[in-house]
Structure 1
């Protein structure tokens, strides 16, 4: 029966993902069609003047002269066959571009995600333990300041200080200028990655820190913690045994929920540091009206965020087994005598 429930849960998530992708496809395609930017005109500006006959041939080749509904059906049908089209800006298949750019963005987001989680959770615990003390007040003001700072402004400040003034990090790009990718070492890539990842992590770690602080304060002021103090347990033991265990799940929830925020922030961070990832690609696609690339990255980002939330749901049951128990309780029903009967009993 547990295998059947796992299959049903998996099918439910697959149906949700397919529904989400279809909704995102319709909304994204509609917004692109409502855009005042003409992709044919943008293509002509990048390639040079063309004759009216050549323009008509381009419209017929791209299907722009067809009704919007038919354009969507043709594009979605090709998408179901694994064809996202060809980028008008890069002259390459969209799927190949996403695969290439995503590796750089993934490295940037993983570093920023790890930085924000470790730094945010550690500072939140430190602020919660030292509530209303000088350390707590200073860190709290810093976090509140970082919550209100735009990512691009913070990136420019870090770039000015650490790259221009101090010269500790390169100004931009993911590798040294003039070097082949095969000649770039892993340390050089990390050296170019640290500053963009740091600026991106500072955008989200403040929320994790403030949330963790408040949750830890609530736990330390609870009745069972007061009872633990009365039994003679030390402060470190209380924080380790009762505090961290109760605040880990909310912190993990907020950390995985920051996937979408990090993905959106990567667009600004990659443009500030000229980092060749999906963020810079989607900006170029939007400015140059590269419709196939823009739609492809939009769908891919939806899948990425959905996958992050799915991983979080799986980890919830690993960290807190009570979630699985609650799920089983919700799947029970009551018979006419008022007795609780599970779905397994009903099937029997």
Structure 2
């Protein structure tokens, strides 16, 4: 009972921290967008419209966008609307921001989830193999592969993958999430997966490095433990040692690290979506920034921060549940 209570208190504390961080992110983003030189009215009506707009119409638009009220009041009005699910209207899509984000989020979530799972599984497998074969050719290949990918720019790798597999070999489409000119009702799951595969592969290849190197180091430490040496002395095979001792000691740290890497996956997806013209949150954020779509940019910033910090929240929760020392340290703080 005491353990369950300690876990609950620990989870509540980090959840409160998560909410406070999101509140701070919303304030910073709102202030930066508000003081930027971007004029939402000019972006809404266009340059020609600004030259022909009537003063009374301009006053109505200023009232509509809240430009005639102090910054603090505008923020609290936006926050109250945001809590109710109203994020405003996108200036470039002429749709509610929540609808635009909803459609784009589905595409981005499919891309990031596929890359996240593939990179985690492959990285863990490579790390385990490298750890149990320390110093051998396999270990050197995995280390070289991981270090090379860790220093490779995401956009450069995306361009290479695009040129090789889409332009030269023509195995995959050049971009988008569905075939061009095909009615939405006629798009099959194969079409969706065909467009998703190359961006997801590019994103997952980059994400393999950290989990592979981390798992390798953990596996080397486990293989050097006394109980592993004792098992070897008793004639246990490497597979048996790996099955009964190795995997269970390295899989939980690998899982928590994988959840903490969601931020890196999201950051890479922004570049990958741009290269492959994949209609996700990253591409929408770039378009909103270039077009001065303040409501959409603000909504995507907060939702993206929530997604990234949720990964960190899950990682911290897993660490706290697994290791009681972390809960005690948080309690002392």
TM-score, with length taken from structure 1: 0.86
Out of 62, 67, 74, the position equivalent to 1:64 is 67
For the 8 Å contact 2:11–2:317, the answer to whether it is kept is no
Select between 189-198 and 222-231 the one with higher mean Cα deviation: 222-231
Cα deviation digits, residues 108-137 of structure 1 (max 9, x gap): 011000110111111111111221212221
Residue of 259, 263, 270 corresponding to 1:260: 263
Report deviation, 1:99.
1.2
Q: 1:79 aligns with which of 57, 82, 90?
A: 82
Instruction: Judge conservation of contact 1:109–1:266 (CA < 8 Å) in 2.
Output: yes
Deviations 1:5-37 (A, max 9, x none): 676556445433332221111111122123233
Q: Which 5+ residue runs of structure 2 have no aligned equivalent?
A: none
What is the alpha-carbon distance in structure 1 between the residues aligned to residue 47 and residue 175 of structure 2? 25
Q: Is the 2:165–2:172 contact (alpha carbons within 8 Å) kept by the matching residues of 1? A: yes
Shift of 1:159: 0.3
Bigger Cα displacement from structure 2, 260-269 vs 231-240: 231-240
1:103 is aligned to 106
Residue 213 of structure 1: which of 207, 216, 227 is its match?
A: 216
Map 1:140-155 onto structure 2 (within 5 A).
Answer: 140-155=143-158
Please say if residues 231 and 241 of structure 2, whose CA atoms lie closer than 8 Å, have aligned partners that are also in contact. Answer: yes
**Aligned counterpart, 1:339:** none
Per chain length, whose mean CA-contact separation is higher, i.e. which structure has more relative contact order (CA < 8 Å, sep 6+)? 2
Post-superposition offset of 1:218: 1.5
Between stretches 219-228 and 184-193, larger displacement belongs to 219-228
Q: Is residue 49 of structure 2 the alignment partner of residue 51 of structure 1?
A: no
1:199 to 190, 199, 202: 202
Q: Give me the whole-angstrom Cα distance separating, in 2, the residues matched to 1:28 and 1:302.
A: 11
CA contact (8 A) 2:114 2:200 kept: yes
Q: Name the TM-score, length of structure 2 as normaliser.
A: 0.90
More helix by share: 2
Distance 1:79 1:116 in 2: 34
Q: 1:287 to 1:128 in 2, by over 3 A?
A: same
Unaligned stretches of 5+ residues in structure 1: 334-348
Please report how far the alpha carbon of residue 244 of structure 1 lies from its aligned counterpart in structure 2 after TM superposition: 1.3
Q: Secondary structure at the match of 2:245?
A: helix
Give the alignment partner of residue 182 of structure 1, picking from 177, 182, 185. Answer: 185
* 1:190-218 deviation per Cα after TM superposition (whole angstroms, max 9, x unaligned): 01000000111112111111111111112
How far apart, CA to CA, are the structure 1 residues paired with 2:47 and 2:125?
Answer: 50
- With over 3 angstroms needed to count, the CA separation of the structure-2 counterparts of 1:332 and 1:16, relative to structure 1, is closer
Task: After superposing the two structures, state which structure 1 stretch, 82-91 or 135-144, moved more.
Answer: 135-144
Q: Which residue of 1 aligns with 2:237?
A: 234
Of 256, 281, 298, the residue aligned with 2:284 is 281
**2: CA distance between counterparts of 1:12 and 1:332?**
9
Task: Give the 3-state SS of the residue equivalent to 1:284 in structure 2.
Answer: helix
Give the CA deviation at 1:311. Answer: 3.5
Counterpart CA distance in 2 for 1:332 and 1:11 is: 12
Residue 158 (structure 1) aligned with residue 158 (structure 2): no
CA contact (8 A) 2:281 2:300 kept: yes
